[in-house]
Amino acid sequence: MDGLLSEAFIASLFFGAVTAGVPLLLAGLGEQVSEKAGVLNIGLEGMMLAGAFAGFAAAYATESFLAGFCAGILAGMAVALIMAVLCVVLGMNQIVVGIAITLGAEGVTALLHHVLYSRSYPRLSRVETWTIPGLADIPYVGAAFFDRNALIYIAFALTFFMIWVFRRTQAGLNLQAAGDAPAALDAAGVSVTITRFVSVLVTGCLGGLGGAYMATVGGGLFLPFMTGGAGFIAIVLAMLARGNPLWILFGAFLFGASLALTTALQVAGVNIPTDVIQMLPFAMVIVVLLLFARHSYLPPALGLPYQRGAR
Partner 1 sequence: MEPDPVGAPDGDAALTLHDITRRFPGVLANDRVSLSFRRGEIHALLGENGAGKSTLIGIVSGMVRPDSGSIEVAGRPVRITSPSAALRLGIGTVYQHVLLVPSLSVLENLMLGNPWWRTLDRAATSERFADLAELLSVRLSPDAPVGRLSLGEQQQVEIMRALWHGELVLFLDEPTSMLTPQGVEDLGVVMRRLRDHGVAIVFITHKLKEASDLADRISVLRQGRVVGEVTPGELSTMSPDAIIERVVAMMFGDDGKAGDLRATLVGDAAAPQSRQSAEAGVEPLLVLRGGRTAGQRGECALDGTDLEVRPGEIMGVAGVDGNGQKHLAEVLAGQRMMTTGSISLAGRDIGHLGVAGRRRLGVRYITDERLGEGTAPRHSLAINLVIKEIGSPQFWKGGITLWRRIHDHARNLIRTYSIVAPSERAPLAGLSGGNIQKVLLAREWTGDARLLVVSKPTYGLDLQNTRRARDWIKSIRGNRDTAIVVISNELEELIDVSHRIAVMERGRIAGIVKNRSGARTAIGRLMAGVGAA
Q: Is 199 in the site for partner 1 (CB under 8 A)?
A: no
**Nearest distance, CB of residue 160 and partner 1, angstroms:** 15
Q: Restricting to residues 270-289, name those near partner 1 by CB under 8 A.
A: none
List 103, 188, 272, 276, residue binding partner 1 (CB under 8 A): 188
Q: Which residues contact 148 (CB under 8 A, 6 or more apart)?
A: 18, 129, 130
Burial profile 9-36: b = 16 or more Cβ within 10 angstroms, e = fewer: ebbbbbbbbbbbbbbbbbbbbbbbbbbb
Q: Is 84 in the site for partner 1 (CB under 8 A)?
A: no
User: In terms of Cα–Cα distance, which of 39, 46, 88, 18 is closest to 238?
Assistant: 39
Secondary structure letter of residue 242 according to DSSP: T
**Nearest distance, CB of residue 155 and partner 1, angstroms:** 23
Q: Is 185 in the site for partner 1 (CB under 8 A)?
A: yes
Largest separation between any pair of C-alpha atoms in the chain: 67
Closer residue to partner 1, CB minimum distance, 138 or 187: 187
List 5, 170, 290, 294, residue binding partner 1 (CB under 8 A): 170
Q: Would strands 130-131 and 147-148 be described as parallel, antiparallel, or unpaired?
A: antiparallel
Cβ burial of 69 (10 Å; 0-12, 13-18, 19+) is buried
Closer residue to partner 1, CB minimum distance, 200 or 252: 200
Q: Is 189 in the site for partner 1 (CB under 8 A)?
A: yes
List 6, 168, 270, 291, residue binding partner 1 (CB under 8 A): 168
Closer residue to partner 1, CB minimum distance, 32 or 109: 32
Number of residues written out for the chain: 311
Q: Is 298 in the site for partner 1 (CB under 8 A)?
A: no
- How many other C-beta atoms are found inside a 10 Å radius of the C-beta of residue 291? 10
Q: Which residues contact 93 (CB under 8 A, 6 or more apart)?
A: 87
List 85, 92, 171, 221, residue binding partner 1 (CB under 8 A): 171
From CA 205, how far away is CA 79, in angstroms rounded?
9
Q: Is 89 in the site for partner 1 (CB under 8 A)?
A: no
Where does this chain touch partner 1 (CB under 8 A) — which range of 27-35, 39-47, 54-62, 184-192?
Answer: 184-192
Determine the size of the site formed for partner 1 (CB under 8 A).
21
Where does this chain touch partner 1 (CB under 8 A) — which range of 91-99, 144-152, 163-171, 224-232?
Answer: 163-171
- How many other C-beta atoms are found inside a 10 Å radius of the C-beta of residue 121? 12
Give the footprint of partner 1 on this chain (CB under 8 A): 168-171, 173-174, 176-177, 180-181, 183-190, 195, 308-309
